[in-house]
Structure 1
Amino acid sequence: MRLIGAGTRDDIDYVITDRFWTVPNGITLLRFCLVPVFVWLVVTEQHLTAFIVLALLSSTDWVDGYIARRFNQISTVGQWLDPLADRLSLVVVAVTLVATGIAPWWLVAALIIPDAVLAVAALLMFRGSPELEVTALGKVRTALLLVATPLLLLAQVPGLAETALTVAATILLALGCLGHLWAAGDYLVGCVRKRRELIGRGLDPRDRASWARS
């Protein structure tokens, strides 16, 4: 079964629409709505319910992309809304878990510092997003983090092999953070490569109107 790029079909010609209200975008918006619910559940120590909500939140990251590709509902909005939802969700979840003592401090550091560096680099080089494709490494990194964080919550529930779950979650979390650092480095290299390519074509990377996708 194909996990990365699941739902991709070879029997149709994909059309990227400008519609906002598509099923995948609706699922992505649902993910945004679940984030504050998750934060409230963790703060009030309703860990089992928070685990269920986070598992649902994590699964929608795969479902919206699958539906978009399977039913030809790819949109310009979804192309930026989905990764934005992924990144914001991960950061808020990480900060919440660290602030409540459930996750180690290095989780937030490993997520926020590379992202801040990339954001500054993108602004300096392109005055915005360089519009690079999401790599398989980035998807695997996200998957590891979205599996590890629910396990950390499950480890807070008495009677569920807390020690074993904590060890497994910490290992996956470390792998996810290492993957995030690796993906960030790969993304930065991609930014530099694209900047050189644009300059080689006689285009100003900071003049987004001359090369950015509409």
Structure 2
Amino acid sequence: MRLIGAGGRPGDDNAVLTTAWTLPNLVTVIRFLGVPLFVWFITEQRYGAAVVTLVVIGSTDWVDGYLARRLNQVSVVGKWLDPVADRVALIVVAVTFVVDGIAPAWLVWAIVIPDIILILNALVLFRGPLHLPVITVGKIRTALMLVGAPLLLLGQVEGFQQDWIVVLAQGMLAVGCVLHLVAFWAYLIAAHRKYRLERAEQQSCPP
């Protein structure tokens, strides 16, 4: 069974819908809504409920992609909404963990700084946001973080306060951060490659 790219069927024409009203996009919106709910649970120190919320947030990251491919509902909106939802969820969860003392500060810096650099790079080169195809390393990075984060939080829940859970979670998050830097470098190179290609096409066109 495939986890990455699951739901795709032989012979799909990969048509991209222009409408935003699709079931996969609804699942992505639910992921957005789960983020403030998670923050509220943490502020109330309801760690068990926060773990469940994180599991739902993480599972929707796989579900929306599966549904989009299975139902042939890949859309223009979904192609940028899904990665934006991932970034928002990861950043907010990391910041909340650090503020609450659950995780060290390096978790935030390892996620936020590369993202800021990519945003500034896109603004300088393209005068706006740049939506590049999601690479496999990025998908694995996101999966590790969306699994490692609930595990780390599970170590705060009464009855699950085991050292091995925390160590496993920290290891997954550390590997996720390393892959985040790898993905950052790949996206940076891809952005500059696209910029050079567009410049070359503009220069080759007659005035």
Superposition TM-score tier, normalisation by shorter sequence? over 0.9
Measure the CA separation in 2 of the matches of 1:93 and 1:130. Answer: 24
| 3-state SS, counterpart of residue 166 of structure 2 | helix
- Normalising by structure 1, we get a TM-score of 0.92
- Pairwise CA distance, 1:149: 0.3
Measure the CA separation in 2 of the matches of 1:203 and 1:44. Answer: 58
Q: Which residue of 1 aligns with 2:35?
A: 35
Change (3 A) 1:130 1:73: same
Q: Which residue of 2 aligns with 1:211?
A: none
Letter of the 2:84 partner, please give it: L
| 3-state SS, counterpart of residue 112 of structure 2 | helix
What CA deviation, in whole Å up to 9, does each residue of 1:152-174 have, x standing for no partner? Answer: 11000122252111100111110
Matched, 1:94 2:94: yes
Q: Which residue of 1 aligns with 2:196?
A: 196
- Normalising by structure 2, we get a TM-score of 0.95
- Pairwise CA distance, 1:58: 0.4
Q: CA RMSD in A?
A: 1.3
Q: Give the length in aligned residue pairs.
A: 204
Measure the CA separation in 2 of the matches of 1:12 and 1:122. Answer: 32
Counterpart mapping for 1:1-214 below 5 A: 1-202=1-202
Change (3 A) 1:80 1:31: same
What CA deviation, in whole Å up to 9, does each residue of 1:54-106 have, x standing for no partner? Answer: 00110000000000001101111111111111110111111111100011110
Measure the CA separation in 2 of the matches of 1:55 and 1:61. Answer: 10
Structure 1: runs of 5 or more not aligned: 205-214
- Pairwise CA distance, 1:127: 1.3
Measure the CA separation in 1 of the matches of 2:177 and 2:52. Answer: 23
